[in-house]
Amino acid sequence: MVNDIEKLDLQGIKQVFHNLSYDELLKHEIAKKEGKMTKMGAFSVDTGIFTGRSPKDKYFVKQDPSKKFISWGKINQPITDELFNKLLKTAKKQLSNKDIYIQDAYCGSSLDSRKSVRFVTEVAWQAHFVKNMFIRPNKNELENFKPDFVVYNACKCANKDYKKDGLNSEVFVIFNIEKNVAVIGGTWYGGEMKKGIFSMMNYWLPLSGKMSMHCSANVGKSGDVALFFGLSGTGKTTLSTDSNRKLIGDDEHGWDDNGIFNFEGGCYAKCIKLSKENEPEIYGAIKKDALLENVVINDGVVDFNDSSKTENTRVSYPIEHILNHEPSLKAGHPKNIIFLTADAFGVLPPVAKLTKDQAMYYFLSGYTAKVAGTERGITEPVATFSACFGEPFMPLHPTVYADLLGKKIDKYDVNVYLVNTGWSGGAYGIGKRMSIKATRTCINAILDGSIKKCEFENFEKFNLSIPKKLTGVETKLLNPINTWNNKEDFLKMRDKLAKMFIENFKRYEDVKEGVEFAKAGPKA
């Protein structure tokens, strides 16, 4: 029995497949020929022409009271209630007069902060994806389940009138905060559901004084919690996976009065070039109940090195597939926060201790540097700034999250560090990538507290506190200027990077908080 099914307003529903077991979902996936079985035991699907999110097709209905809180712009685009209703009607028509899958799930392992979400789709593997990624209710919870929010995933329909409607494409991913409804059309990519609810948590939680974060989290044997923030390529997943510490979660977390809690009940890992040797935990998680996306399969064997479909090959799996995970999906307040960056300019130090004001500055900056494709002959790194290390998913002004972070750091006396996993001894093409051993040593010194015993010096221009010596790390690595052969070249590159930070941060100075936070950054 599905509670409140009549509120879905779908016509002529045939069979309702409600929170099917993994075995039942697999039978449906095979019967409907939605993908292929692999020899690893995982089912594999293709998501069609969209193998990633469609950020230009994401909209929020502009209406009171939410319009006063949303930071409108290229990321949070407005749409009228009238157009939303038109596209919701289109989606409901697509989902009517057929069998549907309803997956009821929780987002948030903290009872004080979790949301009950209902997903409606006509595709079995999308129900499977939701089952993997969100927190699975038990039988008693399902009997009393009342959704706080409903997602209609009508991926098989598209908006043919998008040009007339003034939208970007046939794809639409729309959130109506007041009606507690989201509607998806034109794209089969499962990540739209995951990141869509993450965006909603990033709206709801901060407005009630709770922090929402795009980070991984783990907990030590003594209960000490660490958070790892970092954009793609910085080592967030690798460095938060630690045999001596239990994984709370790898991607989305909240921070309320009880401590840190995972939003999700699963993991969504990249698969490209995955190997058992380099990432044994993720490789080992790809088994029965896992769901692969857009990988190349030959006679049931997955070729993780083949990117002919997309570089963004993925796998979702329940977190129980990671042996060393924290079963409650939550823990106490963090002791340490680590901002990871892969600086390809070779400027930033391998580790630096941040003040509270600097923490808010570097949190807002959300910096890393990516190396341009060498096939074009470009070796100059490209700076990437993403507010709060997750700008595409932040509906409120970024300073709201930074201000909350600062208050939490103060209240719970949290240590904050910047760790550079990028280049040393020169920029990309000249210097070398920081060794994982050196980075691990820095991380371990943070986690065991031994870094606090170090004597620190000032890293000029950026005014960062860096250790003069750190056991297990070659001393000259600790201050980047010592690793460059040409000191003048280093100073020029340092000044160049500082200017990039300053220029990027001007976009937050439209509010008084941003002006204050800017004072903690590098000086012109």
Q: Any idea where the domains of the chain sit in the sequence? A: 5-34+52-208, 211-255+333-519, 267-321
What's this model's pTM, rounded to 2 decimal places?
A: 0.95
Q: What is the pLDDT at residue 62?
A: 98
Return the CATH class of domain 5-34+52-208: alpha beta
Going by C-alpha positions, the residue among 122, 185, 177 that lies closest to residue 148 is 177
Q: Determine whether the annotation assigns residue 433 to a binding site.
A: no
Residue 356 a catalytic site member: no
71 marked as part of a ligand binding site: no
Contact (Cβ atoms closer than 8 angstroms) between residue 134 and residue 264: yes
236 is in an annotated binding site: yes
The C-alpha atoms of residue 227 and residue 240 are separated, in whole angstroms, by 8
Q: What is the mean pLDDT of the chain?
A: 95
253 is catalytic: no
In the chain, the percentage of residues whose pLDDT exceeds 90 is 90
Per-residue confidence (pLDDT) for residue 372, from 0 to 100: 52
> 489 with 427: CB under 8 angstroms?
no
Tell me which of 51, 116, 187, 237 is the catalytic residue.
237
Residue 375, pLDDT > 50, answer: no
What pLDDT does residue 497 have?
97
The reply, when asked if residue 195 is annotated as ligand binding, is yes
Q: Mind listing the pLDDT tens digit for each residue in 98-154?
A: 999 999 999 999 999 999 999 999 999 999 999 999 999 999 999 999 999 999 999
Tell me the average pLDDT across 389-401: 96
Q: Which of 28, 115, 214, 321 is catalytic?
A: 214
136 labelled catalytic: no
Question: Has 191 been labeled as part of a binding site?
Answer: no
Query: DSSP secondary-structure letter at 290?
Result: -
Selected catalytic residue, list 118, 236, 245, 353: 236
Q: Is 54 an active-site residue?
A: no
Whole-angstrom distance, CA of residue 315 vs CA of residue 44:
9
Domains 211-255+333-519 and 267-321 share a fold: no
- Class of domain 267-321 as given by CATH: mainly beta
CATH tag for 211-255+333-519 (out of 2.102.10.10, 3.40.50.720, 3.90.1640.10, 3.90.228.20): 3.90.228.20
Is 404:244 a contact under the CB 8 Å cutoff?
Answer: no
238 is in an annotated binding site: yes
Instruction: Find out whether the peptide bond into 350 is cis, omega within 30 degrees of 0.
Output: no
Residue 235 or residue 209, greater confidence: 209
Give per-residue burial for 46-82: e unless 16+ CB within 10 Å, then b. bbeebbebbeebbbbbbbeebeeebbeeebbbebeee
Average pLDDT estimate for 170-198: 97
